[in-house]
Amino acid sequence: MIFDDGQAVLLLQELVGTPSISGDEAAAVAVAVRWMCELGFVADADGVGNAVGSLGDGPRELLLLGHIDTVPGQVPIRREGDLFYGRGSVDAKGPLSAFIAAVGRLGALPGLRLTVVGAVEEEAATSRGARYLLDRHQPEFVIIGEPSGWESVTLGYKGRLLIDYELTRGLTHTAGQDVSAAEQAFAFWQSLSAWCESRNAGLDKAFDRILPSIRTITAAPQGLYDATHMTLSLRLPPVFDREDFEVAARGWAGDAQLSYRGYEAAYRASARTPLASAFRAAIRQQGGRAGTLVKTGTSDMNVVGPVWQCPILAYGPGDSSLDHTPDEHIDLREYLRAIAVLQDAITRLCS
C-alpha cells in the first residue's frame, strides 16, 4: 500500500467520522485495526476492546499509546481548506492517526517492536484501556497520543479527584427560615473553594495549584424531600494530601453524603531522556522550536507512567484548547508535519 499524505488524511477523516463515545468504541476500533492491517501491522482488538497493532519483533518495545474514545457532542464533519472539523480530530484521533501513519510508513525497524494502541475509556475517568495494558507490556519508551502542537512535547499532567455530593432532606416551605439542600450544597462549595485557595497561597503556576470546579449540579424537590446532587472536580498538583482534604471535606458536609472516584496522582516526566532528546532533534529538523509543556488536565500518562517507570512523553498534532469544544478541528498541515516528526524521532531511537 502506498501511504502518501492523501492516504494519511483519509485515515484521519474515516477515524474521526466514525463515532466512538467512551464505552461505545467498537466501530472506530474496527476502522483503526483495518487500516493497521493494510499497512502491515499485526493488529486486532484486545480483551477490553483496545485497537492494538504491532510491527517488528525486536526485544525493545516502543509503545505509542493513544486513545480512540471521545466525549459526547457531535461536531459536524467538514473540511474548510486545510482545517478539518469533527469530534476527536484533536482529542485524540488526530494524534492516534499520526501514530498509525508514522509507524506504517517506517515499517519494521531493527531491534524495535513498535506497538500502537488506540485505548478505550480514557475520557470516562476509568482509563480502562490503559489499565489493561499495565501488566501485559513493559516498554522501553512510551509516547502518549495527546495534542501538544507539532513543535512541542508534553512532559506532565495534573492529577484528578472527583467528588460526588448527595444531600436529601425533608422539604420545607421556601418562606421559612430553614436552609435548603441547595443552599447547604453551595456552602459546601464555598468551603471547598476557600480551602483550595488557602493551599494555593504563594503558588503562581497553574500546574502547582489545586483547581476546583463544579461539573454538574441538580437541585429539585422530590415529593416530600428536597434533594441536591453535585459532582465536583479537583485538578491536583504534584503535592496534594488527599487524607487531609477528605478530613476537611467531611467537616463541611454536615449530613450530606460524599463519595470519591476517578483519582489520579499528578505525573511529571523527565526532559533528560533519549526519548525527549529524539523528539527535540526531530522537531528542530522540521523547523520547529522544540518546546516543552505541562498540562492542567490528565491523560493516560498518569496511569502508565508511575507503573512502567520508563522514558515517556505526550505528543500529537492539534490545539488542546479546542478539546471537547463545539469548534474542535485540526490543521491538516500540522497533522502531516507531526507524522514527519514522529518518523524522525522513532528512527533516532532505533539508531
d(CA 186, CA 90): 35
Question: What pLDDT, on a 0 to 100 scale, did the predictor assign at position 62?
Answer: 98
The mean pLDDT of 141-163, rounded to a whole number, is: 98
| CA–CA gap between residue 337 and residue 342 (Å, rounded) | 9
Contacts of 284 (CB under 8 A, 6+ apart): 290
Among the listed residues 29, 2, 1, the one whose alpha carbon sits nearest the alpha carbon of residue 93: 29
pLDDT of 233 above 70: yes
Q: How many CB atoms lie within 10 A of CB 244?
A: 11
Decide if 122 is catalytic: yes
Q: What is the percentage of the chain residues whose pLDDT exceeds 70?
A: 97
Instruction: Yes or no: say if 347 and 141 are a contact pair by the CB < 8 Å rule.
Output: no
Which of 174-183, 237-246, 270-279 has the weakest average pLDDT? 174-183
> Alpha-carbon distance 62 to 116, whole Å?
9
- Residue 3 predicted with pLDDT over 90: no
This prediction has a pTM of 0.94
Would you tell me how many other CB atoms lie within 10 Å of the CB of residue 155? 21
Query: Is the preceding peptide bond at 8 cis, omega within 30 degrees of 0?
Result: no
Q: What is the mean pLDDT of residues 302-329?
A: 97
User: At residue 69, does pLDDT exceed 60?
Assistant: yes
The Cα–Cα gap between 267 and 142 comes to: 14
pLDDT at residue 351, rounded to an integer: 77
Identify the sign of the CA torsion 83, 87, 92, 95.
negative
Kindly report, residue by residue over 325-340, the tens digit of the pLDDT: 999 999 999 999 999 9
pLDDT for 125 equals 85
pLDDT at res. 334? 98
Using DSSP's 3-state secondary structure scheme, residue 76 falls into: coil
Which candidate in 121, 122, 264, 344 is catalytic?
122
Each residue of 204-231: b (16+ CB within 10 Å) or e?
eeebebbbbeeeeeebeeeeeebbbbbb
Indicate which residue of 25, 61, 69, 151 is catalytic.
Answer: 69
Reported as a pLDDT band with limits 50, 70 and 90, residue 136 is very high
Q: Which pLDDT score, from 0 to 100, does residue 171 have?
A: 65
- Mean pLDDT across the chain: 95
Instruction: Read off the pLDDT of residues 171-225 as tens digits, 9 standing for 90 and up.
Output: 665 555 577 889 999 999 999 999 999 999 999 999 999 999 999 999 877 766 7
Known catalytic residue at 331? no
Q: What pLDDT does residue 178 have?
A: 72
